[in-house]
Amino acid sequence: YPRRDGLYFWGRTPNSKGGRVVIQARWDSGWRRVAVTRAAATGVFEGLIKRKYGREKRGAVRAHYGNGGSLPFSMRPVLDFRQPPFGTESG
């Protein structure tokens, strides 16, 4: 998430285990590593990258762990929407 003081990220590894996580950002030339962090034993990781990337609400980031990577996460905010509880009518 873009913030005034940098780019905040958090996530969980697919197997909920600790390990090295590489955060990558999309640039014109492709994906570039912008941070490396470690997931805790529970697989949860978070951090703050002190850079302006994403402040213009453009671009995308992804996490790479082990042999796989996450889907890209857009810097464009997603608007809230009303989702009625399951089994009820909207209206």
What is the full DSSP assignment across the chain? Answer: -EETTEEEEEEE-TTS--EEEEEEEEETTEEEEEEEEEE-TTSEEEEEE-S-TTTTS--EEEEEETTEEPPPEESSPPPP---PPTTS---
pLDDT at residue 91 in the model: 54
pLDDT tens-digit series, residues 46-63:
999 887 776 776 788 999
Q: Residue 78: which pLDDT band, with cuts at 50, 70 and 90?
A: confident
The answer to whether 33 touches 63, Cβ cutoff 8 Å, is: no
CA 70 to chain centre: 8
The model's pTM is 0.76
